[in-house]
Amino acid sequence: MKKNMPYSTPEGYFEGLQNRLSEIPARKSRINLTPYLALAASFMLAMLAGNYILMKTTASQPASDDEIVEYLIDSGMTLAQLEDEIYNY
Q: pLDDT tens digits for the chain (89 residues)?
A: 677 878 888 888 888 888 888 877 766 666 788 999 999 999 999 999 999 998 888 766 778 888 888 888 888 888 888 888 888 86
In a domain, 71, yes or no: yes
How many domains does one find in the chain?
A: 1
In a domain, 72, yes or no: yes
In a domain, 79, yes or no: yes
| Integer angstrom CA distances of residue 14 from 19, 21, 26, 89 | 10, 11, 20, 76
Residues in the chain: 89
Half-sphere exposure of 82 (CA within 13 A, CB side): 10
Q: In whole angstroms, give the CA distance from residue 5 to residue 13.
A: 18
pLDDT of residue 73: 83
| Integer angstrom CA distances of residue 63 from 9, 29, 31, 71, 74 | 81, 58, 52, 10, 15
In a domain, 44, yes or no: yes
65: domain range? 32-88
